[in-house]
A = this chain, B = another copy of it.
Amino acid sequence: MEKISLYQILYQKLRESIIKGEYNEGDLLPSENELCSQYQVTRPTVRQALSQLVNEGYVRKQQGKGSIVQQLNKGLKLLSIEGTTAAFEGEKFYSKILVQPSIVDWPQDFFYAINTQAESTNCIMLERLRTIESRNVIYEKTYITNKQMPRFTQKNLEDKSLFETLKKYYQIQITGGEQKIRAINADKHVAKLLQVLIGKSLLMLQRKMYTNRKDFFVYSLVYCDTEHYYIQDLF
C-alpha cells in the first residue's frame, strides 16, 4: 500500500467534505487551530493541506477571517491535474469507449514532440465520448506511451477513470502536465460525434500529462462542446 502523508490525508478529507456539499459557498472551514486539534497535527501541516485546496480553487483564505469555501461544479473542471472523468464530479455523465485501447504508431505531426527512443516507438490509443444528460459533450483521443503496459488493451474502461486504472494496475500516477487550449470550428467527423453542426465552435485541448515513470506520458486530444457546459477555472 502506498504511503500517504498526514497533510495529504487532511487535504483529501477536507476536499471530500467540500465536494459532498457539507459546506455552502461562503462558509468557513474549521480554523487552522481547530483542524490541529481535530486531526492531531500541527499548524504547518494543516496549512500545507489548505494550501492545496486554495491552489485548486476549492477555498480561498482571508487573513483574520478564515478559509472560505468557493463555489463548486458550476462548470467542468478540465483545467487541472485530474483527468476528464474527475472533471465531471457531481454530474450525471457516461463515458463510452468508441475505440478500444489498441497499439498504433504515433500519428504523424503529433500535437506534442515525441522522443520515440526514450518513450516508445508506438503507443496505446483509445477514443472516448462523454455524455451528460443525453448530450455528447466531450470527445477525447488518448495516447499512452507503450512501455511496460501488459494487457492494457484488455482493460475495460467503460465508465471508469483511466487515471485510476493506471494507478491501480500499473502504479502509474499523474504528477503534473501542460495543455494548449484553442478554439476550432468542428469538422465533419467531430461534428457528427458531438452532434453539432459542422463549423460549430468547439474547445480543443491538447494535453500532455507527466507521470511518476521516467519518459512515460499520457497525451490527450480533447474536443469539448461548451454550449451547455462551460469550462470553469478558479485561480
Binding site for B on A (CB under 8 A): 44, 51, 55, 57, 60, 70-71, 75, 79-81, 175-185, 199-203, 206, 210, 224, 226-227, 230-235
Contact = CB atoms under 8 A, between A and B. Distances in A.
Q: How often does this chain occur in the complex, in copies? A: 2
Q: Give me the 3 closest cross-chain CB pairs, A-B, nearest first.
A: A181-B231, A201-B201, A183-B183
7 contacts: A55-B55, A176-B235, A181-B232, A182-B227, A182-B231, A183-B184, A184-B201
B183 A233 contact: no
Judged by DSSP, the binding face of A is strand
A182 B226 contact: yes
A235 B80 contact: yes
Contacts of A233: 79, 178-181
Nearest to A76: B181
A180 B75 CA distance: 7
Nearest to A82: B235
A222 to B, nearest CB: 12
Given A185-B200, A200-B185, A201-B184, A178 B235 contact: yes
Contacts of A227: 182
A132 to B, nearest CB: 16
Contacts of A226: 181-183
A54 to B, nearest CB: 8
